[in-house]
Structure 1
Amino acid sequence: MTNKILRIGTRGSLLALKQSTMVKGILEGLWPGLQVELQVIKTMGDKILDVPLAKVGGKGLFVKEIEDALLAGQVDLAVHSIKDVPAVLPEGLEIGAIPKREDPRDVLVTRNGLGLDAVPLNARVGTSSLRRSAQLKSLRPDLDIQNLRGNLDTRLRKLHEGQYEAILLAAAGLHRMGWKDRISAYLQEEIFVPAIGQGAIGIELRSSDAEVLKVLAPMHDPDTAVAVQAERSLLNELEGGCQVPIGGHAVVNGSEVTLTGLVASLDGREMFRVTRTAPRSGAEALGRNVAQELLGQGARRILEDVYRNSEK
């Protein structure tokens, strides 16, 4: 596919541009003569910055406008953080490639480099994620957890200005930006379950565009794709959105995939967690099975309570 221009739709945040630029560089390296251009598209999630994500509601807050541009033929590809992509894609679109995953863990960033146990009693901690908030409340119920919105650089600035004693972020974003030195502590996956797809990038395209799919093929990492498939199947079965604390993390080891799923109450007092292993060919079924087991343990009541209250 030489002497062609490929247009990538991307959000305009520093991290989104870093990720899209990374994809652009890989594609141009793989296919000499191919030109790749970035087209910045502002999403609803970028426009509404003063309201907690859970209250904005709806799925696809950070992808819908980019997907619309893709369907309209204004761009040829979209580069997303998989955790922002709803479990069900619009008709006519598909994820064409998932490159090798970055570190999926959550991290704690503090002004003085303290780990979670050393954060002062009743300290103010910032996060926009109900999943992070619920797990943090379970581990440290004394902490004053406050909403924190904005791009990665904005969140770090608010911490530096003293608005928070600590903030919770994804390791992957800090790694990709070259800001590893800001991390005070990694929160291990077995204790603090990450978001569905955290650390993974998905490259979306029109299902009818076989030529572009062929161009993306060398970037695809099968192990990451299997893990993400299990996690997204879990999310789809739970019908989870931004209003519910849901986590999921899968690891592929040879011919097997192990998935941990989590559903928590908003206050962190109830925590349902299931870990199961299956053949990698059964990743999608594994996600559904873990979801059903969580629902059977009591997660169904949490989900129903949250959705009932959100409709009031």
Structure 2
Amino acid sequence: MTQLNSALPSISHPSRTLRIGSRESQLALIQTYYVREKLQKHFPEHTFEICTMSTQGDKILDVALAKIGDKGLFTKELEVGMLRHEIDFAVHSLKDLPTRLPEGLVLGVVTERENPADALVVHAKHQDKQIETLPSGAVIGTSSLRRLAQLRHHFPHLTFKDIRGNLNTRLQKLDAGEYDALILAAAGLQRLGMSDRIHQVLPAEISLHAVGQGALGIECRADDLEVLSILKTIEHVPTRDRVLAERAFLRELEGGCQVPIGVNTQLDGNILTLTGIVASLDGQHLVKDTVTGTTTQAEQLGIELAQSLRQQGAQEILSEIFETVQRG
């Protein structure tokens, strides 16, 4: 079961302790504290206890994400904890949460999205530059194949180098001169109080963002109706509609977070516009399309867009990438 539970019975909530699972990183904890604070306001009679876990993605820092495999890289340990009833729910950066969840777990709720765009962060010597004006050969750090493919498409004269580690580690490497610039999620910088490091927010014309980027997804046991009812109090419906379309698009293409699949969603009333791309690793081949419909059709729009891109050659691009990554 992977869909959001939208209709739940009214449930009374006697006082209890609820255990929230979180990764140990600074950003993950900030996001989890944010969720706990919102829930505590709605349910002051409850105790919300944070339980941290280290995931595989946190432990392996010397290998590119795409080579490790991406299904559940930052979520599996938390999911095992839920299935063992060691924790009651887990807070994820939604872009890290696979579109197909383990049996017995569900995406219970999505909170209001921060800016989902990618951001350029530059070394001090490039303060007068934008991504369009960085010099030929400038070294750009990114661990995302999605960003890499799109930027290679638009800026083939730049040099791209993998970078891992938490946000502070990456910024230290940038400031030490190992990189000329980094591409990071604007939302992560904002949540960490580092908005001043955002030099340029990249427009959708240059870089479509990751599925779910900027949103938090709270995963829980599908049969825990009390927890689901509690979580629903902090749901942000416009964000939910947008990410349902995005996740359906990704799920239909059977792509994980470490493939060059980008999206952009716009909401005007109940009219949802979804744009998506699939790009080759070298940026030479890129297919892109847009679909529009109502929010009640959100998931169907995602499926429709995936099918359209597949007809334009997306599947061949993804198959080639998979084979390349498997070969290492």
Bin of the TM-score, shorter chain as denominator length: over 0.9
Distance 1:284 1:70 in 2: 26
- 1:201 maps to which residue? 216
Counterpart Cα distance in 2 of 1:140 and 1:214: 47
Paired position in structure 2 for 1:54 = 66
What per-residue deviation string (whole Å, max 9, x for no partner) do you get for residues 244-288 of structure 1?
211122222212111011100000111111111011111111101
Q: Is the 8 A contact 2:146 2:258 kept in 1?
A: no
Q: Does the aligned pair in 2 maintain the 1:10–1:17 contact within 8 Å?
A: yes
State the one-letter code of the partner of 1:119. Answer: L
1:6 Cα deviation after fit: 1.1
| Residue equivalent to 1:237 | 252
Within the candidate set 34, 52, 74, 2:86 is matched to: 74
Give the 3 Å change call, closer, same or farther, for CA 260–53 of structure 1 in structure 2: same
- In the TM superposition, what is the alpha-carbon distance from 1:31 to its structure 2 partner? 1.0
Tell me if the contact between 1:2 and 1:32 (Cα under 8 Å) persists in the aligned partners. Answer: no
1:10 corresponds to which residue?
22
Give the C-alpha shift of residue 176 in structure 1.
0.8
Q: 2:66–2:325: 8 Å Cα contact kept in structure 1? A: no
Aligned to 1:119: 134
Residue 180 of structure 1 corresponds to: 195
Identical pairs, percent: 48
Contact 2:252-2:306 at 8 Å conserved across structures: yes
| 1:227 paired residue number | 242
| Unmatched tracts of structure 2, length 5 or more | 1-12
Give TM-score, length-normalised by structure 1: 0.97
**Counterpart in 2 of 1:92?**
104
Q: What amino acid does structure 2 have at the position aligned with 1:108?
A: L
TM-aligned CA deviation for residue 308 of structure 1: 2.8
Alpha-carbon distance in structure 2 between the residues aligned to 1:5 and 1:159? 42
| Aligned Cα root-mean-square deviation (Å) | 1.2
1:295 match: secondary structure: helix
Tell me, in whole angstroms, the C-alpha distance in 2 between the residues paired with 1:309 and 1:116.
28
Structure 1 residues 252 and 235: alpha-carbon distance in aligned structure 2, compared to 1, 3 A threshold: same
Match 1:218 to one of 233, 250, 257: 233
Structure 2 partner of 1:282: 297
Aligned mate of 1:298, from 307, 313, 326: 313
Residue 191 of structure 1 deviates from its aligned partner by 3.0
Q: What is the distance in 2 between the residues matched to 1:232 and 1:272?
A: 18
Q: CA deviation at 1:181?
A: 0.2
State the 1:302 CA deviation: 0.6
Deviation at 1:192, TM superposition (A): 1.2
* 2:41 is the counterpart of 1:29: yes
CA contact 1:2–1:31 (8 Å) conserved in 2? no
Structure 1 segments unaligned to the other structure (5+ residues): none
How many residue pairs align between the two structures?
312
Report deviation, 1:126: 0.4
Which among 191, 204, 207 is matched to residue 206 of structure 2?
191
Distance 1:249 1:69 in 2: 33
**Over 4 Å off, 4+ runs:** none
Q: Residues 173-213 of structure 1: CA distance to partner in whole angstroms, max 9, x if unpaired?
A: 01111110001100012431000000010011111111111
Q: Which amino acid aligns with 1:155?
A: R
Q: Quote the offset at 1:153 in angstroms.
A: 1.4
| Residue identity matched to 2:49 | E
